Amino acid sequence: MKWMCLLLFGGLGLIIFVIGVGWGYKRLELYNNGVKTTGTVVEITHSTSSDSKGRLSTSYYAIVEFTTPDEKNYKFRGSTGSSAQEYFEGEQVDLIYNPARPSDAQIADFSQFWLGPLGITIFGFVFLVLGVGGFMLISDSDKTFKNPQSKRFSIK
């Protein structure tokens, strides 16, 4: 049982944690080495989904256009949707892009730039801690099942 807890929660948590740290590292590289500029929100798109009870939810995404110093225009969609519209058409936003691949751009505010990697990393860490914690809490269970000190019952 304890090994299942460690493998299921701890293993899954470790995988998700590593993905989150890798994603965060890529964002940190972009933040440190990317070109900072401004862009214009040219469109707001949305996607609608429903949960298991049939309730609908809508997420809004900003489509941002910017121009590089060599006068090329690029468009990209914000990486994080929100249930309330955060941006409006015509709004100027700060962004960071990779000069080698300008289409790899991100809106440079916390929710768009850091929230995804941070959320995934924390989620993975929680599962990792649950797996290791569960393993430690039930560490005596193997000893109990291997050496049962059972009482013999007899019918008189």
Instruction: Give the pLDDT of residue 54.
Output: 84
Contact by Cβ (8 Å): 81, 55: no
Q: Hunting for tokens 């110093």 — which residue is that? A: 69
pTM score of the predicted model: 0.72
Q: Does 103 or 41 have the greater pLDDT score?
A: 41
Average pLDDT, the chain: 86
Q: What's the N-to-C CA distance of the chain in angstroms? A: 36
Q: Which amino acid appears at position 87 of this protein?
A: Y
Average pLDDT over residues 123-152: 70
Q: Given pLDDT bands bounded at 50, 70 and 90, which one contains residue 153? A: low
**Which residue has better confidence, 57 or 3?**
57
Residue 13: pLDDT over 80: yes
